[in-house]
């Protein structure tokens, strides 16, 4: 070997050694430099302080609210819900049951990281003479949803909202993101300016059994890609819209490097399952790596290239934190003004809410509907067995509903149970679920019987 070739090989080895030992760790290391860490910590501390102040004010206002039945009621959906009004005329959606645990966690995380979501609380209310535990969520006045809206019709602000919301879709396995779960709150000149995501009670359900993929669809969607994100990614890959992936990647890192301790405390405040919390913390830490891989898949279809640096910049971190803090401060000041204008010296007594609804009866009816929602099971069985099973389920439901009717506290509850009985009879007769359940959520504002 010539002297030139020997020197060339030596220099090449030295270069590769330096590259591996210096450049690669700087590029891919998830550790934050000490100076960056200090500045970022200050930014996070300020955000946590403002968040705590906001939530405390919000809770203090909520404790002084009393509710009555609203004239306006939703007559759709597959869950029992009552539209209530507080003493200031604001509408709320009351859902009996404890299913809202995950939805409350989502609300707090959205609020912490500057993403709009409906305010939600646990509450116990007297309904038809019984104390009923459930969740109550502020009703969002809207101009429709994204069902018939193309991503092309969304403004930059709305696209940023969707990108940031998607970070928590993955982080919390919150996949019920179909178009109707994005309400339009501002629509101008054919463009969607603002949206709010609702129905986040499916979060954590399949955490650990999911994938961050372009066409990922949760099991309950079957073979249908109903998520609005599927439409969003497709539109982006076809060059119909532009998405600021680099900008959102900075937000991804802002969330990833947020203090684990506070993040964990926030989830444990609602959940008592350490396994869920540990999975969420691990996924939070891996967000930069996961999204770098995911975004590279997206831009690959566009035959473009972007560089995603996994290490955090204290300047960019503080910029994101400053914007979020500013918005949260404005919301906090707004709450203070509400307290000044509508101060309630003493908590009014919560009166009974008389509604044409039976919570126990609706649970029985819903079990009959589960038979149809799990229709895929019956494709693998004989129709004869399916029909026999349906008849048996309906007969059991009718027996339980009739028994429940005798213990009804009032005319309203009795009326609701009669509606459920008629619905089950119709299902048994026609061998299919009607749309009657969309009507049996109907309630009336009438407390004259009390």
- The residues with which 92 forms a beta bridge, in sequence order, are 84, 138
Identify the burial level of 22 via C-beta atoms within 10 angstroms of its C-beta, where 0-12 means exposed, 13-18 middle and 19 or more buried. exposed
pLDDT digits (tens, 9 = 90+) for 4-62: 445 555 555 555 555 544 444 444 344 445 455 566 788 999 999 999 999 999 999 99
> Is the pLDDT confidence value at 384 over 70?
no
Token readout for 176 is 């019920």
Note whether 86 and 175 are same-domain residues: no
Same domain flag for 119 and 188: no
Instruction: Please give the Cα distance from 165 to 168 (Å, whole number).
Output: 5
In a domain, 41, yes or no: yes
* Overall residue count recorded for the chain in this entry: 450
59 within 8 A of 136, measured Cβ to Cβ: no
Say if 325 falls within a structural domain.
Answer: no
Domain boundary among 138, 159, 181: 138
Q: Quote the pLDDT of residue 374.
A: 61
Residues 269 and 158 occupy one common structural domain: yes
Distance in angstroms (rounded) separating the CA atoms of residues 11 and 169:
48
pLDDT 10s digits, 231-251 = 999 999 999 999 999 999 999
DSSP character at residue 128: T
Summarised one tens digit per residue, pLDDT across range 106-137 is 999 999 999 999 999 999 999 988 899 999 99
Convert the pLDDT of each residue in 140-178 to its tens digit. 999 999 999 999 999 999 999 999 999 999 999 999 999
Inter-residue contact 376 to 94 (CB < 8 Å): no
Q: Identify whether residues 21 and 45 lie together within a single domain.
A: no
So what's the pLDDT on residue 72? 87
Contact 105, 172 (CB under 8 A): yes
Q: Look up the domain containing 409 and give its range.
A: 359-438
Overall domain count for the chain? 4
- Do 69 and 127 sit in the same domain of this protein? yes
The answer to whether the CB of 71 falls within 8 A of the CB of 445 is yes
Is residue 3 pLDDT above 60, yes or no? no
Does 232 share its domain with 254?
A: yes
Domain assignment present for 366? yes
Q: Among residues 341, 368, 355, which one has the least CA distance to residue 422?
A: 368
Residue 336 lies in a domain: no
Q: Does 124 share its domain with 176?
A: no
Amino acid 331: pLDDT:
96
Is the pLDDT at 443 greater than 70? The verdict is no
Q: What is the CATH number of the domain that holds 82?
A: 3.30.200
Domain end residue (candidates: 109, 138, 167):
138
Summary mean pLDDT of the chain: 84
- Environment class of 279 (CB within 10 Å of its CB; exposed 0-12, middle 13-18, buried 19+): middle
pLDDT given at position 253: 96
In-domain check, residue 370: yes
Based on the fold, state whether residues 297 and 174 are members of the same structural domain.
Answer: yes
**Average pLDDT for 415-436:** 83
Could you tell me which residue, 78 or 89, shows the higher pLDDT? 89
**pLDDT tens digit sequence for 90-104:** 999 999 876 678 899
Q: What is the pLDDT of residue 340?
A: 76
Residue 231 in domain: yes
What is the distance between the alpha carbons of residues 79 and 424, in angstroms, rounded to a whole number? 16
Q: What percent of the chain has pLDDT over 70?
A: 79
383 and 235, same structural domain? no
pLDDT given for residue 52 in this prediction? 97
pLDDT at 306: 75
Name the domain boundary from 280, 315, 350. Answer: 315
pLDDT at 217: 81
- pLDDT confidence band for 191 (50 / 70 / 90): very high
Q: What is the 3-state secondary structure (H, E, C) of 134-152?
A: EEEEECCCCCCECCCCCHH
Does 103 share its domain with 158?
Answer: no
* Main-chain phi, psi angles of 128, to 5 degrees: 50, 40
Q: Are the C-beta atoms of residues 185 and 194 closer than 8 Å to each other?
A: yes
Lowest mean per-residue pLDDT among 237-241, 264-268, 376-380:
376-380
The residue-averaged pLDDT of 297-324 equals 84
Asked if 162 and 279 sit in the same domain, the reply is: yes
Do the domain assignments include residue 352? no
Q: Does 404 have pLDDT greater than 60?
A: yes
> Which pLDDT belongs to residue 195?
98
370/365 Cα distance (integer angstroms): 9
**Residue 74 contacts residue 81 (beta carbons within 8 Å):** yes
Domain membership of residue 446 (yes or no) is no
Residues sharing a CB contact under 8 Å with residue 17, sequence separation 6 or more, in sequence order: none
SS3 133: strand
pLDDT at 444 over 50: no
Across the range 375-384, mean pLDDT stands at 55
SS (H, E, C) the chain: CCHHHHHHHHHHHHHHHHHHHHHHHHHHCCCCCHHHHHHHHHHHHHHHHHHHHHHHHHHHHHHCCCEEECCCCCCCCCCCCEEEEECCCCEEEEEECCCCHHHHHHHHHHHHCCCCCCCEEEEEEEECCEEEEEEEEECCCCCCECCCCCHHHECHHHHHHHHHHHHHHHHCCCCCCEHHHEEEEEEECCEEEEEEECCCCCCCCCCCCCCCCCCCCCHHHCCCCCEHHHHHHHHHHCCCCCCCHHHHHHHHHHHHCCCHHHHHHHHHCCCCCHHHHHHHHHHHHCHHHHHHHHHHHHHHCCCCCCCCCCCCCHHHHHHHHHHHHHHHHHHHHHHHHHHHHCCCCCCCCCCCECCCCCHHHHHHHHHHHHHHHCHHHHCCCCHHHHHHHHHHHHHHHHHHHHHHHHCCCCHHHHHHHHHHHHHHHHHHHHCCCCCHHHCCCCCCCCCCCC
- Same domain? 218 vs 125: no
What three-state secondary structure class fits 435?
coil
Rounded CA-CA distance 441/116 in Å is 27
Q: What is the mean pLDDT of residues 362-367?
A: 88
| Beta strand 91-96 pairing with 82-86 | antiparallel
Q: Is the pLDDT of residue 383 over 70?
A: no
pLDDT of residue 445: 45
């Amino acid at each position: 070997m010539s002297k030139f070739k020997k020197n060339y090989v030596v220099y090449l080895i030295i270069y590769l050694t330096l590259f591996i030992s210096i450049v690669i760790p700087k590029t891919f290391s998830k550790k934050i430099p000490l100076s960056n860490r200090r500045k970022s910590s200050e930014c996070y501390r300020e955000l946590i302080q403002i968040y705590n102040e906001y939530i405390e004010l919000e809770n203090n206002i909520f404790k002084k609210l009393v509710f009555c039945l609203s004239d306006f009621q939703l007559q759709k959906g597959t869950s029992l819900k009552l539209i209530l009004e507080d003493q200031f005329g604001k509408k709320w959606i009351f859902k009996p049951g404890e299913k809202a645990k995950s939805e409350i966690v989502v609300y707090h995380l959205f609020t912490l990281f500057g993403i709009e979501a409906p305010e939600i609380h646990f509450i116990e209310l007297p309904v038809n003479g019984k104390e009923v535990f459930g969740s109550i969520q502020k009703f969002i006045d809207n101009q429709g949803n994204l069902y018939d809206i193309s991503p092309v019709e969304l403004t930059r602000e709305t696209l940023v909202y969707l990108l940031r919301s998607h970070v928590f879709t993955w982080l919390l396995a919150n996949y019920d993101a179909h178009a109707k779960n994005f309400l339009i709150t501002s629509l101008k000149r054919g463009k969607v300016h603002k949206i709010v995501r609702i129905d986040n009670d499916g979060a954590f359900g399949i955490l650990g059994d999911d994938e961050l993929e372009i066409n990922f669809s949760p099991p309950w969607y079957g073979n249908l890609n109903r998520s609005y994100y599927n439409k969003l990614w497709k539109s982006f890959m076809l060059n119909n819209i532009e998405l600021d992936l680099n900008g959102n990647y900075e937000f991804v890192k802002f969330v990833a490097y947020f203090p684990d301790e506070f993040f964990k405390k926030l989830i444990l405040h609602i959940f008592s399952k350490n396994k869920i919390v540990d999975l969420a913390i691990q996924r939070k830490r891996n967000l930069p790596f996961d999204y770098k891989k995911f975004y590279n898949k997206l831009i690959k279809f566009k035959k473009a290239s972007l560089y995603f640096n996994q290490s955090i910049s204290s300047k960019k971190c503080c910029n994101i934190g400053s914007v979020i803090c500013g918005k949260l401060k404005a919301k906090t000041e707004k709450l203070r003004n509400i307290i000044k204008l509508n101060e309630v010296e003493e908590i009014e007594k919560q009166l009974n809410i008389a509604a044409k609804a039976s919570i126990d009866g609706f649970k029985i009816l819903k079990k009959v509907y589960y038979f149809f929602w799990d229709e895929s099971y019956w494709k693998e069985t004989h129709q004869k067995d399916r029909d026999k099973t349906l008849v048996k389920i309906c007969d059991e439901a009718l027996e339980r509903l009739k028994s429940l009717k005798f213990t009804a506290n009032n005319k309203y509850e009795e009326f609701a149970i009669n509606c459920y009985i008629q619905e089950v009879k119709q299902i048994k007769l026609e061998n299919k679920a009607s749309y009657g359940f969309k009507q049996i959520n109907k309630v009336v504002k009438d407390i004259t019987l009390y």
